[in-house]
Structure 1
Amino acid sequence: MTDSALRIDYDGRRFRPVSEDPEEAGRSARYHQQGDLLWGEFAGGDTRRGVLTGVCSADGVLDFAYCMVLGSGEVVSGRCHSEPSTLPDGRILLREWWERYGRDGDSGISYLEEVPAPATAPASEA
C-alpha cells in the first residue's frame, strides 16, 4: 500500500532487488522521469541488459513494460505494477507485481529498495 503523502520524483534514483537469489545479486536499475513518463535501464546478475518504460501516477505508483537479455542470450519481456512505501531511513521500497511473458511465463511479487546516494566527502579546509 502506498503512503498517501508520498510524492516521488524517480529521476536519477537507483534501485536493487531485496533478495538473496544469486541470479539477482548485483542487479541494479537507474530510473528516469519526465512528468508522468518513466523509463530506465538495468543490468547485473544474470541480466546483460534490460530496459523499462511506462508511467508514474501522482501517488508514485508505477506501471511499465520491461524487456531484458539474459546471460544465456534469452530475451525476456513482461509488465510490472509497483507501489512505493518509505523505509525508516527515508529510502523508497517498491513492491512489484510482475508478469513475465513467453514459454517460461511466470508471475510474482518482488521488492526493490532504493540504493543510498553515495556520501559526499567534506570539503577540505584550506
Structure 2
Amino acid sequence: MNYIQASSEHLETIYRLTQDTIRSIYPSYYPKEVVDFFCSHHSREAIQSDIENKNVWILFVNDTIVGTGSRDENHINRVFVIPDFQGNGYGSFIMQQLENKIGEVYDEVLLDASLCAIQLYEKRGYSTVSYEKTAVENGSILVYIVMKKELSHITSAINYDGKCFSTKSNTSGGDVNSKTVFNYHQLGDILWADYQGGNISKGFLVGNVEKDGTLDFHYQHINTKKQIRIGKCHSMPQTLSNGKISLHEEWQWLDGNCDVGSSVIEEM
C-alpha cells in the first residue's frame, strides 16, 4: 500500500475512478439528474486544478490506484474508493490521512456529505452543521449535509507507562473489539504493550514514540480461532476534553492478504 500526492500523470486515472464510482453508487441514492451533476462537478478540469494546487492524493494497493482524496484548506472533498475495493478500510485510511494533514494547521475539518456517506462520517466523529440543497436539471434537487469534526493537535508530551486503553471502534477485518484491553508501558522513546480480551487470546506490541508524538509499532497476537496474526500500525494521539488520551490508528496486516484498516482506542 502506498499513499502519495497526485501529479498530472494521474489525472485520467483519478477522473475515471471518480466517474465510475459515482455512476456505480450514486443512482441508489439520487435521481439521474443529480448523478449527472456530481459527474460534471468532478470534471477533468476541476481535478486538474486541484492537482496543480497540490491538494489531491491517491492510494495504491500493489500497482493499482484504488482510491483518491482531496482537500481545500480545511475542507475535505472528492474521497472515492473503487467499488470492488470498498469494505477494506481504504476509505477510512484516506480520510485519516487528510484529517492528519489538515490537523497540522486547523482545529476543525469540514466536508459536504452525500446521502451515501453520512453514516461513515458520523462514525468518524463528524456532526451536522447544516442541511443544504441545490437545484439541478429537470427540477431535481440535490440534498446534502455540511458536516464538521473538531481536530486535536498531536500531543507529544505523553508518558504511556501504566496507561490502559480499550477499543472504541475498528474496521471490519480487524481482530480487536470493545472487549480488548491494552496495557501500555514506556521507557524513553520505546513503547510496548500486552493486550487480550474479546477475539484476542494474547497479544503483544512493541515500537517507538516518534518526535512528533505519533506511535509506530508492530503487533503480534493469537486470536480465539488459534490464528497467529502479525501487523504494523501508525497511531496518532489526541487529548480528549476529559483529559484522557485517544489513539487514532491506521493498521495493516503483514500476513494473509495484507488488508488495511483503522481503529480508535481510548484511555480507560
TM over 0.5: yes
What does residue 33 of structure 1 align with?
186
Which protein has the bigger helix share? Answer: 2
- The alignment yields a C-alpha RMSD, in angstroms, of 2.1
Out of 192, 206, 225, the residue aligned to residue 72 of structure 1 is 225
In the alignment, which of 11, 16, 23 is matched to residue 166 of structure 2?
16
Higher strand share: 1
Partner of residue 102 from structure 1, selected from 255, 261, 264: 255
Q: Percent identity?
A: 36
Structure showing greater relative contact order (alpha-carbon pairs closer than 8 Å, 6 or more residues apart): 1
Query: Given that residues 7 and 58 in structure 1 are in contact (C-alpha distance below 8 angstroms), is that contact kept between their aligned partners in structure 2?
Result: no
Distance between the aligned counterparts of 1:23 and 1:81, measured in 2? Answer: 16
Aligned residues: 115
Closer/same/farther in 2, CA of residues 112 and 11 from structure 1, 3 Å limit = same
Contact 1:37 1:55 in 2 (8 A): yes
Task: Select 2:234's aligned residue among 77, 81, 106.
Answer: 81
Q: What does residue 119 of structure 1 align with? A: none
- Contact 2:190/2:207 (CA < 8 Å) preserved in 1? yes
Instruction: Give distance in 2, aligned partners of 1:11 and 1:97.
Output: 22
Structure 1 residues 28 and 5 mapped into 2: Cα distance closer, same or farther (>3 Å)?
closer
Cα distance, 1:60 vs structure 2: 2.5
2: distance between equivalents of 1:23 and 1:63? Answer: 18
Q: CA deviation at 1:58?
A: 3.5
Equivalent AA in structure 2 for residue 51 of structure 1: F
1:62 to 195, 215, 221: 215
Identify unmatched segments of 5+ residues in structure 1: 116-126
Q: 2:203 pairs with 50, 53, 57, which one? A: 50
Cα deviations across residues 6-43 of structure 1 (Å, max 9, x unaligned)?
41000000111113889613101001000000001000
Distance of aligned partners of 1:5 and 1:100 in 2 relative to their CA distance in 1, 3 Å threshold: closer
CA shift for structure 1 position 5 = 5.5
Report the CA distance shift for 1:5/1:99 in structure 2 as closer, same or farther (over 3 A). Answer: closer
Structure 2 residues not aligned, in runs of 5+: 1-99, 101-151
Distance in 2 between residues matched to 1:43 and 1:97, nearest whole Å: 19
TM-score (norm 1): 0.83
